[in-house]
Structure 1
Amino acid sequence: MRRTSATTHRAALGLALGVLAPVALSACGNGKTDPDLVAGKQLFVQKCGACHQLDRADTKGVSGPDLDEAFRQALADGMGRNSIEGMVAEQIRHPARLGEGQRGKGEVVMPADLVEGESVTDVAAYVGQVVAKGGEDTGLLAEAVKKAGAGKPVAAKDGKLVIPADPTGQLAYQAASATAPAGPIEVESPNESGTPHDIVIDGVGKGEVVQNGGISKFNGTLDAGKTYTFYCSVPGHRQAGMEGKVTVK
């Protein structure tokens, strides 16, 4: 066998450091042998997607490692997907084990206990199966999570424009486009998820960062005939695609 396993595994583990919020040992730890991949995908998107990019899950977080890139070379060098599941589970259960020297610039340490019990196995199994795989999920997995930002365009009503953040914690608003009349406007962005978000329109106003049912809001004035960009100013969120357009009629 090629002498790549130890070095490659350590490199992948370092890259995957905060690896996901929810993940688990494939068949280890809590003894679950039949993981629920649909639940694993849903939990990954909700708990991990704000920090990690995983193409099959359509998550675009940038504050943690890109999981596809973190494991691509390791897979090419012969690492098994069961090993990836175990590594992901280990990181979820023991996120502080990687030292400061192993983190990338700007990366954050994953909080403990984001996912617990058998749910860790579900998430780890999903990640292990799809990471660096390319293509798109099929069957029930394709329907497990509603596509971020795919909601219908919203329109201001009675002087108020409401643009909710995605309730699953994805880095998106429920709608990527909106319309409003010129003049004074109250902008609100409810956020039911545990991922912190705000809403900003440059030159118009900025709301506070909220989560868990809070509402980011501000009052401002929209000019006739202009198109504004609204976005989340939490570091990494706009870069991951959390923005949209307001057309003033």
Structure 2
Amino acid sequence: MKDPQADVVAGKQLFVQKCGSCHTLARAGTKGTTGPNLDEAFQQPVKENFGETAIRGVILKQILFPNRLPNSDGIKMPAKLVSGQNAHDVAAYVASVTAKGGKDTGRLASAVKAAGAGTAVEKAGVLSIPADPGGQLAFAAAKATGTAGPVTIEMPNKSGTQHDIVIDGLGKGAVVANGTSSFKATLDTGKTYTYYCSVPGHRAAGMQGTLTVK
């Protein structure tokens, strides 16, 4: 099935959720490093006016039948992370924005909610800092507050992207997908801590935040 009228808004949402943890694509706001940087990968074809339709075809083929060879870390892209019309939607969106400057406009600009805007607050000895449920490399809250003393720090992760939560010197939760990473710690009065995801490439992509103890 090939649909030239693919839904690029749905394509952007699916790309961020399914592909953004591995690929950098500036217009989508993703910073994954496991797979190729898609802006760099298609920079020359775009410069040479290869054509959006042709680029879309290349992307679709890679989604459905990815390179069988793993990268330098031994990680291989799974086939058909998206399929059917979803694959066409993703391919159409990526082809329309790859290696292009500026920002998405119109409906595309609001297609994916920005992560990290909230503040997590400790309640009854539990500080819950969710991972972005859409699969972005970010916590739902880039700031958190807590009180001095014993606390359970947890990171619910409703996405299929693997994450953990770590505070150096305090503790490290397990790496989970569709689960909860947690550890117990004792917070010191007046201190500021940095929490982050230790999965390779995630902290560098911006998956970290600041915990302030009152």
Structures share fold, TM-score greater than 0.5:
yes
TM band (smaller chain): over 0.9
Residue in structure 1 matched with residue 165 of structure 2 by the alignment: 199
Residue in structure 1 matched with residue 198 of structure 2 by the alignment: 233
Aligned partners of 1:116 and 1:89: how far apart in 2?
Answer: 9
Shift of 1:106: 3.6
Question: Is residue 62 of structure 2 the alignment partner of residue 95 of structure 1?
Answer: no
Residue in structure 1 matched with residue 47 of structure 2 by the alignment: 76
1:24-52 per-position Cα deviation (integer Å, ceiling 9, x unaligned): xxxxxx12121001100000000000000
Shift of 1:239: 1.1
Question: Is residue 126 of structure 2 the alignment partner of residue 184 of structure 1?
Answer: no
Q: Indicate conservation of the 8 Å contact 1:200/1:231, yes or no.
A: yes
Residue in structure 1 matched with residue 131 of structure 2 by the alignment: 165
Question: Is residue 195 of structure 2 the alignment partner of residue 248 of structure 1?
Answer: no
Aligned partners of 1:70 and 1:89: how far apart in 2?
Answer: 15
Q: Indicate conservation of the 8 Å contact 1:63/1:107, yes or no.
A: no
Aligned partners of 1:223 and 1:65: how far apart in 2?
Answer: 42
In structure 2, runs of 5+ residues without a counterpart are none
Aligned partners of 2:101 and 2:75: how far apart in 1?
Answer: 26
Shift of 1:107: 6.9
Which consecutive aligned stretches of 4+ in structure 1 deviate over 2 angstroms post-superposition?
105-108
- Equivalent of 1:50 in 21, 24, 27: 21
TM-score, normalised by the number of residues in structure 1: 0.83
Aligned partners of 1:107 and 1:231: how far apart in 2?
Answer: 24
* The structure with more strand, counted as a fraction of residues: 2
Aligned partners of 1:53 and 1:172: how far apart in 2?
Answer: 14
Q: 2:213 corresponds to which letter in structure 1? A: V
Residue in structure 1 matched with residue 6 of structure 2 by the alignment: 35
TM-score, normalised by the number of residues in structure 2: 0.96
Aligned partners of 1:246 and 1:124: how far apart in 2?
Answer: 39
Instruction: Figure out how many residues of one structure are paired with residues of the other and give that number.
Output: 214
Shift of 1:215: 0.6
Shift of 1:113: 1.9
Q: 1:40 corresponds to which letter in structure 2? A: G
State the superposition RMSD in angstroms.
Answer: 1.2
Aligned partners of 2:20 and 2:74: how far apart in 1?
Answer: 14
Q: Secondary structure at the match of 2:153?
A: strand
Residue in structure 1 matched with residue 140 of structure 2 by the alignment: 174
Q: 2:184 corresponds to which letter in structure 1? A: N
Residue in structure 2 matched with residue 10 of structure 1 by the alignment: none
Aligned partners of 1:52 and 1:107: how far apart in 2?
Answer: 16
Aligned sequence identity (%): 60
